[in-house]
Each structure stands twice: as C-alpha cells, then as structure tokens.
Chains A and B, each alone.
Chain A
Amino acid sequence: MTIGARIPRVEDERFLRGEGRYVADIAMPFMVEAYVLRSPYPHAHIRSIDASEALALDGVEAVITASDLPDDLPPIPCRIPTHGDLGPYLQYPLARDRVRYVGEPIALIIAKSRAVCEDAAELVEIDFDPLPPVVDPEAAIKPDAALVHEAGNLAGRWGFDLGAVDDALKNATYVVSEKFSIQRHTAMPLETRGLIASYDVGRNLLDIHGPTKVVHTNRNVLAAMLGMGEAEIRMVEPDVGGSFGARGEFYPEDYLIPFAAIRLRKPVRWIEDRIEHFAAINHSRESAFEVTACADAEGMITAFDVRLVTDMGAFIRTHGDVVPSHAAASFPGPYRVRNYRIDAMTVMTNKTPTGTYRAPGMFEANFARERALDRLAAKIGIDPAELRRRNLIPADMMPWHVGTESVKRPTIFDSGNFPHVFERALEAYGWDAPIEREADGWLRGRGICALVEPSGLGPFEGVRIEVDQHGYATIFSGSSNQGQGHETVLAQIASSILGLPVEKIRVRHGDTGIITFGGGTYASRTAVLGGNAVHSAAVGIRDKALKTASAKFDIPLEELSLREGEIWHGGKNEPVISLGGIARMLMPGNPEFLKPPSDMNMPDNDGLVVTSYIRGVPGGTSAFAVHMADVLVDPRTGDTRVENYFVACDIGRQLNPLIVEGQLIGGVAQGIGGTFLEELTYSEDGQLTTGTFADYMMPNVYNMPPVGTLVLEETKAPGNVLGVKGVGEIGPSGVPAAIGNAIADALKATSGLNILPLTPERVLAAASTVERP
C-alpha cells in the first residue's frame, strides 16, 4: 500500500540537482522583455503621460498605457462570491486617469532587455497631481476622509448575530475585552512571479507559461478579457517556487503580458523582481479585532462579541473579501459557543490590494480568539488548557454547524473528536510537566492555541488517468503544484489502486492543454479533492483493465487482480498479461476491437483512459489542531527565543507522513515569520517602506525551534472516500497565538502582546507592566 508511505518526493531530485524548469528558464526566439512602470504615488491624478523619449531609446519596442487598451476592457473580475457588490472596487490592468497605490501599473514597457526597459522607464514623463492618501483604515471610515473610490471607503459592512449575545454578556461572571491587531504581511515565495506569452497570429493561438494555482480559471478570465475562445489560450505551469496563496491569482500582468504578445506578435517575457513583488503581489492579514469574550461561573464560554476591521488596500482583487469572510465565519473556533456576534468592515485604503495568504483569516482570528481566551482563563483563575478543555465541541455534536457562512457556503465542522485529540496533544507535549521558570536571567513560558482549520473547499477537481502500452500511467490533474508534492502524493494514491510502482506513474498538472476542467490549488484542497479524483479514476482504470482481461482470456473477473504492473490470475497464481498489454488492446487502432464498418465498434475502445471529476462537499472538511510552544524571554531587552514548538492535529488519514510533517514544519516557520518579523509598513504619506529583504525580515534558520508533530488519523473525513483532511494551512495558523500566550506566561503579563509582530520592543513593553522583585 503506497498510500501512507513515507516516501521522498519524486520532485526533489530535479530541484536538488538544479534541474527545475522555472519560467525564467524559458526563452523563445525573438523574445522581448517587459517591465511594468508603477506608480510612485499612493494617490494621484494622472494628467498626462509622455513616452516619446522612452520610445526613442535604442532597443525599446513599445510603451503601452491605458489608452492603448480596448475602451470596453472590463476590470479583472472577482472569482468567488462576496458579501455585497464589490464591483466598484475592481482593478483595471493599467491605471487610467488616477493611481491609488504605490506600485499600481501605469504602463508596460517592452524592450530587448530588462535593463533597457528600466532605462526607458526613467524617460517616461508622467504629470501627476497628488491627492491626499488614505493609509489608516480606521481613519478611512471617518466621515471626512478622502475617498479612495467614489463608491466610498467602506466597501462592505456585514456580520453575524447568533444566539443572544447581549443576554450572555449581561449574565456573565467573567468578561474580557481586548483589542488585537495583525500586521500587513504576505507570501514571499522564493521565486517571484513571471510570465512568457507567445502568440501564433495565423492560428490565433496564445500560449502562456508561468501561470499557476488556478490556471483554468485564469485562462477563462483572460479569454473573456481578450475576446478569445477558451481553447485558443493555453496556460502552462512550469516549476513554481512557491505561492502560499498569493502567486497564481489573476493580476494586471496576467492580462498585460499576453496583450503585449498579441500586439507585438513577438514572445514577451516578464519576470517580476523582488522590489516589484513587494508592491505588486497581494498583501494580506492586515486587520484589527476587538474581542469581548465572556464565561459563566463554571468557566463555560458563553459568548464572543467581535468587531473586525480589515484593510483591503486600493482595489478588490480576485479573492474578493474572502479573508475577513473566513475569519468571521470561523472565529468561534473549536468551541461550543452559540452566542456569537461579529460586525465586520472591509475598508479601502491607498495601499497594495490584498488577497489570501496561507491560512487566510484563520491566522488572524486564531490569534485574537486564543489570546483573549488566555486572558479569560487568567481572570477565571484556571489553566489555559483547562478553559479550552471545558469548552471544546464534543464529538457527538458533529457535524457542528457554526451558523455562519463564507463565500456563500455554510461553515460546518464536518467531523472530529476534538476533546480526545486535545488530550493526546497535551500528553504528547507534556503540557502539565513542570518547567524551570528561569534560565540565566531569561524567563520561560508555555503557551497553547487550539484551532479548526478548514480545507478542501471549492466546487470540484478532476483528473484523467491514461495508461500507455508500455505500462506507464500518467495522471493529468486539474490542480497546480507550487512545491506541495502533488507529483508524489497523487502518484501514491494511483499506485495503491493500480498496483503500479510510483516510478511508473507520472503526474502532470497546471496546464489547460491537458485536461478540460480544473479547480486549482488553494484552501488545502488537493489531497481532499484532487486526491479523491485520482482515487476514483484509478478505480475506473482498474475495473476497465480487469474486465477487458476477463473477456479476452475468459477468466472470471473475481479471479483477477492488479499486481506490480501485471494482471494476475489468482487461482493459478500467475500473471496473465501486463497492464501495458491491456492498454495496447484497448487502443483505438486494435483491429480486434475496432472493426469497420463503424457499427462494429466495441464500446470502451478509447484506450485505458478514465476521466473523473469530484464535487466538493459544501463546507469542505475541517481538521482540529493544537499548537504549543515554550518560549524564553529576556525581561531586560524583550528578546525572545522559541525553545520548542509542537503541533498536533487529526487529519483523518495521511497520504505521505513525510510531506505532512514538511507542511507542518514549513508552516510553523512561516507563522514564526508573521509572529516576530515580517511586516509591510507604510509611511503616513502612503509610501511602502519595506521594499526589500533588508527591511522585510523573513525568518531564517536561527529563528527556528525544533518542531515536534503529532499527526493523528482518528476521524476520517466523512465527505470523501480517502477520508483525508487538508494539512497545508495548519502549520502557520496557530503560531502567533501559541507564542504570544507563551510570552505572556513567561512574563506573567496581564496586558500587551496583542499587536503583531511581537517585536522585542513590544515584548519589553509588556514586561515592564509587570511588577518584579
């Protein structure tokens, strides 16, 4: 059984040997390079653009501005349902007469090299008329604020009001009210974005290398924007050095580069540089929570009352308002709380537009809720774990309907034995084991976070499996791979059904030319949806092969099975024919099956090929997880060191434990970045002040503690045959809460540590609120 086997990723060899093929590794004859000229102003009218000097520079091919684009060009659409109409806030590929954030594309410069493009960019004369920038979301929703869009800075205000929150607050024995803020930061894939588009004018075919994540959706969006047939465009995903939700959405460049290739009739390549990336990629996470949580005398949480303000940036992008939507829908977390109210506001500002980043909304909500719960536990006078223990949703109440919805789908925790997993987690970490409170003048603390991570969202996923006459199977997948290991995991699933070694199974993905429909890769969905599509298609292949062999050799079907690439006759214990042999028999050219005239055609003469599409369960499937950390704090400087980190989760079933652990550990690293270091800051006048890796700090090896994991397979997901739950976003989701709680525990701090990132200065401020001998 290869499902569940701890096998190294088949992708690793090419990556480790430097043989990966990324978009910047692809070149074409007559190719030219593109550069996006971006706004230096956060908010300004564009009075005029004069590109004549730039065009005169040797090597410059074109300077494309908004006036060169079709008059009826629609804005980039949102690809998922939103709360209310966000149409007025959508972005056009190029700014027309007004720019709204530093980095907004104004013109596309095309030249023989990137260096010439950048020289030319300095020669484009743009007459700006600066407008007052709107930087702070709280200020943006005041009545006298300057307007980012005529439709108003408050793009949406919505929420939920479940149960009787006011009554609960009135009757509560313990109440805490806290404000939390999560800083703007985002995905920093090692490889930046990039596209190369080439256009075959005679046949009206457009090929684009570089898209990822949701290539079919993007292809369809582009076809609509260019007025082309969907099959006239092919998007192909190369090797991709990370996405984490940000790379692969449809950005202005995803229209501009193909448009330029059509216009110039030359292949056009654009490779985003890191400076661009900082200003252009979807930002994420910037939000402020006000949380009131209350409990009765027994320590049962009776209500959450929340106000959430999310900074959306200057435009609504393809994700709409899904980040605050997820945060609002899942805020109550793994607790049995029926009185829940949230007032959510989405606010436009003159900053880079926002989108999803690994564990969107959950990272934020978990931080606010779990820090508030530690305060509540302190007020009640019980151990933080005890408060959680008393309030977890019991197993017999599953599936648990939170009563909320996100992207027009109900929020349902489909399954899980949270209390059992919680106790296993505490035991494995040794939560109750005593700790040395002091070491060399540093103080030690321990923190916890419990959470539910949704996964497997989105409507469908599909694969086609083809077996060739040499016995190789190829899985053509509608999902994309940016480093998750799909080439290995999907092969493992097929291997288990087909009895083929993983080495004889190829996985191709991220290419609109290989499968008609694809959902894509987001919301930790590939194992859940793509994996089950592979399972279903592989079962189809197996049945087709065995039936064909049964008919051909006149052996009862029940005596046949697949083993090591052969069909075995169980009774005689010998191979009958190879899988490749069956595939050869089923090829349309086989006269035994396919004889003229056409009415002699046999059914199933289309090769050993099966296509399978799987529909998702509306609420997806939810995994319960517990994060715990031990942190050392220097009370004199606010310096911190995470000594130990631990994640326990129940994901139903592991397809490959090595990849599961890798996802958890890598996710924790990303969470540590968001907890201590990473921040996209803006000056008061709207300039992005973290524009390089000198200012935007990623975690490195020195920041990483040992990360222990406990991966349980206790409760299978009921909505899919494999029983799997997504694991991709559990890693980062609880880190700031667990670490924040650990630091507070170390310092015995009763205030502070509510603002991310937890800089030494903020930690020291929390330390200085505590009286010490």
Chain B
Amino acid sequence: MKPAPFEYHAPRTVEAALDLLESEGPDARVIAGGQSLVPMLALRLARPEALIDLNRIPELSGIRKEGSTIHIGAMTRQAHALASSLVFEQLPLLHYGLEHVGHPPTRARGTIGGSLSHADPAAETPAVMLAYQARMVLRSKQGERVIPAEEFTFGTFETALEEGEILTEIRVDARPEEGTSLVELSRRRGDFAMASAAARMSLAEDGTCASAHLIIGAVAPVPLRFDAVTDALKGRTITESLVREAVELMDLDQFEFDNVDISLAYRRKIGPVLAERALLQAFNRAEGLRK
C-alpha cells in the first residue's frame, strides 16, 4: 500500500497550477482533499507521474454570496460547507447532502470540487448540484468556461474536465425559500448510498407546489433527474397519496447498476420509496418556512 513514485508540486496560485498542469502533461493529476485519490495511489490503481497539490491555493477556497448567487470555491472543505450558515440558509439541500458524505475526519479534508471532479456515481455532491442546476467554472491556460451541472458529470468517474483544466468554482442560485431533503439508504451510515433521493420544493401562495426537483443518485453512472414526477406535483396540493402516485411515474428503466450485493431489482424497489420520502420531507420543510 505504498504509492508508485511520483513528482510532487504545491503551487500557490491557480495560474501556477495551470502552468504545471501544462508542463507536466497528461500523466499529471491534481490532488484536492485526497479522500479518493490517496487510497487509489496507495493501491497503485492511480499512478500519475506528477501530483499537483491544490491545497495551498487560498483563492480556491471559500463560500461567498454575490447578488443572488452563491460562489463556492472548489477547494472548500466539505466540513466548512456543512458548517456554513450561508449554505444552510441559502442552499439547504447542499447542507443535507453533506451530512451523508463520509465522516467528520473525511469531510475535514474532502472538498466540494474534489468530490465533483471525482464523479463517483454514488456521491451526494453531484446529485445536489444537478438538483440546483449549478454552474461549474472550469479554468485552463486557454481561459475560463462555465458549464451547467448536467453537462459536467458524464459517467462513472467521467467529467467534462479536459486536459489542462481545473474546476475552480461552483456557482449556485441562492434558494432560501425552498424545502429540501436528501434521503438515502446505505449499508452503513457514511458509506456510499445504495440509492439516494434529493428533492427541492417551493410552494405558491396558496400552498400548492410551485416548483420541484427530484434527483436519484447511486443507481446509474450519473445522478438521474425525474421531471415526470415533479411535473405531476406542480400546481397541486401535496399529500402523501399524491406523492406516492407521482413517484410511480419514475422511469425505472433508467436505473442501471446491478451488483452481486445490491441488485438492480432492489434499487428499483427502494428508489421510489426514497423519492417519496424526500419529496414529502421537502414539502414539510417548505411548509415550515411559510410560518
């Protein structure tokens, strides 16, 4: 469990990191919190020639609000975001999602951008960002581009990041008025989910559902959006039976993962249950906000 030899660089600015990424070529990798990459290095499953460590670049960390947009630096620690009152008030779904990410020691190192760039299908952060329709800021020597979350995550461990490019920031519209929920089932708390459901809901003046989003994670290479379910809720008064009917509209054919210990059939059974629970909790929280 010792990594193969590699060069190590610890640049102090994004510019310097991008220079290194260019000069070291395709066999270099950036390292963020290291919660996935370090074990892969130790197992020699990843063997980069060089590691470019982003941990000493202050400009990549921090959460701030500009207008109605929340800017999250890619190197912001998960623990920091979880403890952030700005996140809790403006992006509550991120807060609830992060509660399920690992454990306090892993969240103390793990970063928001690292998790997104790693793109584990069972990770909560990509599902949350998809639910929020966040924008990803990608930088390279050629400049900066901003792409929506649904175009960022491609597949299992696959993202839109191109050679020489680093995810530097995530931009999300503040959503203080919504009820949100992230419900998941894992074999053991803190582990990757067997299935997860992320839900957002806002209510109209009359208490009916004004808008809703439902994302199911951990069942396919990328988190899945189920607009058919949420469309059936819009304009309606939310009840348990309505939600139960709506989740029956989930297209379970989109579920793909089938493992020896967690079968596809099982995921298809629990997916709608978790969706129902997430939507109902989001609704209850939205009601709570109405006072």
Contact = CB atoms under 8 A, between A and B. Distances in A.
A692 B263 contact: no
A526 B112 CA distance: 51
Contacts of A636: 270, 273
Nearest to A765: B266
A439 interface: no
B1 A274 contact: yes
29 contacts: A114-B2, A115-B5, A119-B4, A119-B5, A275-B1, A275-B43, A637-B270, A637-B273, A637-B274, A638-B266, A639-B185, A676-B187, A677-B187, A679-B261, A681-B260, A681-B261, A692-B39, A697-B187, A697-B191, A699-B188, A700-B189, A700-B190, A702-B189, A702-B190, A760-B194, A760-B266, A761-B266, A764-B266, A764-B270
B145 interface: no
B269 interface: yes
Given A697-B187, A760-B270, 19 more contacts: A114-B2, A115-B3, A118-B4, A119-B5, A637-B185, A637-B269, A638-B266, A677-B188, A679-B261, A681-B260, A689-B260, A697-B191, A699-B188, A700-B190, A702-B188, A759-B261, A760-B185, A764-B266, A764-B270
A703 interface: yes
Contacts of B242: none
Interface string B81-106: 00000000000000000000000000
Interface in A682-704: 689, 692, 694, 697, 699-700, 702-703
A697 B188 contact: yes
Interface of A: 114-115, 118-119, 122, 273-275, 636-639, 676-677, 679, 681, 689, 692, 694, 697, 699-700, 702-703, 759-761, 764
Contacts of A702: 188-190
B289 interface: no
B262 interface: yes
Contacts of B187: 676-677, 697, 759-760
Contacts of B2: 114-115, 118
B4 A703 contact: no
Interface residues of B, number: 24
A274 B1 CA distance: 8
A274 B39 CA distance: 12
A761 B3 CA distance: 36
Nearest to A694: B39
B189 A273 contact: no
Main secondary structure of the interface of B (DSSP, over half): loop
Contact of A761 (B4, B188, B263): B263
Interface string B236-279: 00000000000000000000000011110010011001100000
A730 B270 CA distance: 36
Among A115, A681, A699, A760: residue with most chain B CB under 10 A: A760
B36 to A, nearest CB: 10
A703 B188 contact: yes
B260 to A, nearest CB: 7
Among B3, B270, B274: residue with most chain A CB under 10 A: B270
Contacts of B262: 761
7 smallest A-B Cβ distances: which pairs? A115-B2, A702-B189, A273-B1, A761-B266, A636-B273, A118-B2, A637-B270
B221 to A, nearest CB: 19
Given A681-B260, A760-B194, A761-B263, A700 B4 contact: no
A676 B44 CA distance: 30
A275 B260 CA distance: 21
A679 B259 CA distance: 15
Contacts of B191: 697
Interface string B40-74: 00011000000000000000000000000000000
A49 B252 CA distance: 51
A513 to B, nearest CB: 33
Interface string B192-217: 00100000000000000000000000
Contacts of A122: 4
B283 to A, nearest CB: 17
Contacts of B3: 115
A26 B187 CA distance: 38
Contacts of B1: 118, 273-275
Nearest to B4: A119
A764 B43 contact: no
A267 B262 CA distance: 47
A768 to B, nearest CB: 8
Contacts of A689: 260
Among B4, B185, B263, B269: residue with most chain A CB under 10 A: B269
A539 B54 CA distance: 67
A114 B2 CA distance: 7
Contacts of A692: 39, 43
Nearest to B261: A759
A122 B2 CA distance: 12
A764 B185 CA distance: 13
Nearest to A689: B260
A86 B274 CA distance: 52
B23 to A, nearest CB: 25
Interface in B1-59: 1-5, 39, 43-44
Contacts of B266: 638, 760-761, 764
A115 B43 CA distance: 12
A638 B185 CA distance: 10
A689 B259 CA distance: 12
Nearest to B266: A761
A638 B187 CA distance: 11
A122 B44 CA distance: 11
Contacts of B261: 679, 681, 759, 761
Nearest to A695: B261
A636 B269 CA distance: 8
Contacts of A703: 188-189
Among B190, B273, B274: residue with most chain A CB under 10 A: B273
Contacts of A679: 261
A413 to B, nearest CB: 37
Nearest to B265: A761
Interface string B277-288: 000000000000
A692 B1 CA distance: 11
